[in-house]
Chain A
Amino acid sequence: MTIIFPIIIILITVVFVLKKNTTKLSIPVKYKKYFVFLYCTILFVSTIVLYFIPKNNLISVKKPTEPISKVLRELASQDKLNASTGLTQKGTFIFDYSGKTLKIFGSSINIEFICKRKNIDDGKIEATNYVGDFSYHGFDIPDKINPPSMKLMKNELLLSDNKSKIDIKINNFTLDFTTNQFIKNENYETMPLFPMKIVYLKIPKSLQIDNTSCNTLQMLN
C-alpha cells in the first residue's frame, strides 16, 4: 500500500500536466525567463545566507554521555558532586534540627537520596538538590526540571517530587534521502528516560535515620 499511493499521485499529476500542456498558457517567454532567473538567484543567495546563520542561535546537540548513576556513590563519598559535569545543582536547603532521630518520607521513586554523616554534631541538616544530565535528541534540558520540594515537620523530613509540566517543541532538519542513502549518519537520538533527581543530605554525626518510608535512600557512612 505504501508504494501504491505515491504511484497513484504521480499518475494523476502526470495526466494533469499533459492535459495542461495541450492548452497553451499565454505567459510570454521573456517573463518566464525572468521568473526562472529570479528563482535561481534566490536559491543561490539562500545557500550563501545559510552559512551566515549563527550556530549559537540554534539548539546545540551533544552526544549522550555515560550515565552519572554509575559513579554517583563514589562522587558523593568524596564530596565531589558539585565538580561533576553530569550534574546540575538546583539549590540547597539548611534545616536546624536538634532531635535524635529523623524519619525521611520520599513520595517519588524518581528521587535518589544520598545521605552522609558529618564529623560534627552541628544541629544542621543540609540538603542539596541535583538534576542529572537529561537529553533528548541531544537537547539538554536539566535547567527546565524542577527540584523536589522539602519540608521539615517535627521529626520528619518530607520530600515530594515537584513535577514541572513542560512542553518542548523541537524542529529537526534531516538530510535529503538522496544524500542519506550514501552517508553513514551519526545517530544522536536517545530515548528519553526519567530525569534523575538527586538529594544529597548531610546530617549531624549522631543523628539516626529511619528510612523505612524511603526505598531509594543510600547511607554512605
Chain B
Amino acid sequence: MMYLIEPNSFNILKKQYFFKLKTNFGLIFNLILFQIFAIFLSLVVKMTSSSFGMDELTFYVSSFSGNIVIGFTLIWACTVPAILTNSKIRNIDFTFVSNRFTSNISNIGLLITLSLFGSVTACLSSNLIRVLFYFISNPKSIVNEGFFVSPQYILISIISTTLYIILVMSILYFLGLLKQLTKVFIILFFAIAVAIILGFKLFSSTINFTLIDLINKVFNFYKGESSLVVFAVKVLLTALVFFSGATLISSKLEVRR
C-alpha cells in the first residue's frame, strides 16, 4: 500500500475529536438556552414553600436552589447521545480516514467534554441565581446559611454533576447505537427488562416487586450513595460497561448504517 503520511490512530482520534467539537457547537448553544430558561424558572418557582401560622406569627418559608438548572442540564444530556448516534451525523465520519473504534472513542471524548462543560456551567449558574435573587429581592429576607457556597462545595457539585451527566449519556449512547443496529434489539432489550420484573413477581411470592420499585432501587443505587469516591466508582464502571457495549455494537454495524 502506498501513502504519504502513515496513519496514526491517536492523530486520527485527535482530529476527529476536535472536528466533532467544532461541528457540534450547536449542542453547547442548546445547553445555554436550556440553562437560561432554567435560571429564570429557578427565580420564579420556589422548590419548597411552606407557611406556618400560630396565634400571632405566620412564617412563609421559600426554598431556592440550583436544582432546576441541574435538572434541565440532565434533560439536555439525554438529547446529546440521541443526536450523536443519529445516522446522518455518524455518516460524516466516513468522509475522513476513520474506523468504528476511533469514531466511538472520539464520540465518547466529546460526550465527556460536553458533560464537564455542562456541569461547570450548571453549578456556577447556581451562584448566578443567588446573586440575581440578592439584587431583585429584599436581602433582609434571605437566610445567610446556605446562601454562600464554599469553593469545595462547588467542586463537589461539579464532580458529581459531571458523573451524573456521564451516566445518563453513556446509557443513552448505548441505546442510540442499539437502535441503529436493529429496531428489534430495542424491543428485545425492553422485553428482557419486563421478563426480569415478571420473573421476580412470579417466582418470588415474598417480594412485592413493581416496575416503580425497580426504578427506585436503581435510582437509589446512585442517588443513595453518600461517598463521592464510591459514587464515582459506581458511575464510571456503569459508564464503562455501556460505552464498551456501544463500541461492540457499532463494530457489528455495516458501513453507513
Contact = CB atoms under 8 A, between A and B. Distances in A.
Q: Do A and B bind each other?
A: yes
Interface of A: 3-4, 6, 9-10, 13-14, 17-18, 21, 25, 27, 29, 32-33, 35-36, 39-40, 42-44, 46-47, 49-51, 53, 55, 57-61, 110, 136-139, 141, 144-146, 163-179, 181-183, 188, 192, 194-195
B56 A39 contact: no
A77 B64 CA distance: 47
Contact of B64 (A3, A139, A174): A174
Query: Chain B CB within 10 Å — which of A137, A141, A167, A174 has the most?
Result: A174
B194 interface: no
Main secondary structure on B side of the interface with A: helix
B99 interface: no
Interface string B123-154: 11111101111100101111111111100011
B96 interface: no
Closest 10 CB pairs of A and B: A61-B145, A43-B124, A163-B56, A46-B128, A178-B160, A58-B144, A17-B79, A179-B157, A57-B139, A46-B131
Interface residues of B, number: 74
B153 A50 contact: no
Contacts of B35: 39
Contact of B226 (A3, A10, A171, A181): A181
Contact of B146 (A25, A27, A51, A172): A172
B146 A174 contact: yes
A12 B61 CA distance: 32
Contacts of A43: 121, 124-125, 127-128
Given A9-B75, A50-B131, 13 more contacts: A13-B75, A21-B79, A40-B121, A47-B124, A53-B131, A55-B148, A61-B144, A137-B61, A171-B141, A172-B64, A179-B153, A181-B160, A181-B231
Contacts of A166: 56-58
Query: Chain B CB within 10 Å — which of A10, A53, A61, A179 has the most?
Result: A179
A208 B227 CA distance: 67
Contacts of A18: 79, 82-83
B7 interface: no
A176 B123 contact: yes
Contact of B137 (A171, A174, A179, A181): A171
Interface string B12-38: 000000000000011011101001100
A46 B134 CA distance: 11
A168 B58 CA distance: 6
Nearest to A168: B59
Interface stretch (B65-73, B101-109, B181-189): B65-73
A59 B141 contact: yes
Given A39-B121, A58-B144, A14 B60 contact: no
Contacts of A59: 140-144
B30 A172 contact: no
Contact of A176 (B70, B134, B139, B140): B70
A92 to B, nearest CB: 22
Contacts of A178: 70, 123, 156-157, 160-161, 164
A3 B216 contact: yes
B228 interface: yes
Nearest to B133: A171
Given A40-B121, A175-B153, A182 B139 contact: no
Given A36-B28, A173-B65, A179 B160 contact: yes
Given A14-B75, A36-B28, A178-B157, A192 B57 contact: yes
Contacts of A146: 56
Nearest to A24: B26
Contact of B227 (A29, A47, A136, A182): A182
B171 interface: no
Contacts of A46: 124, 127-128, 130-132
B78 interface: yes
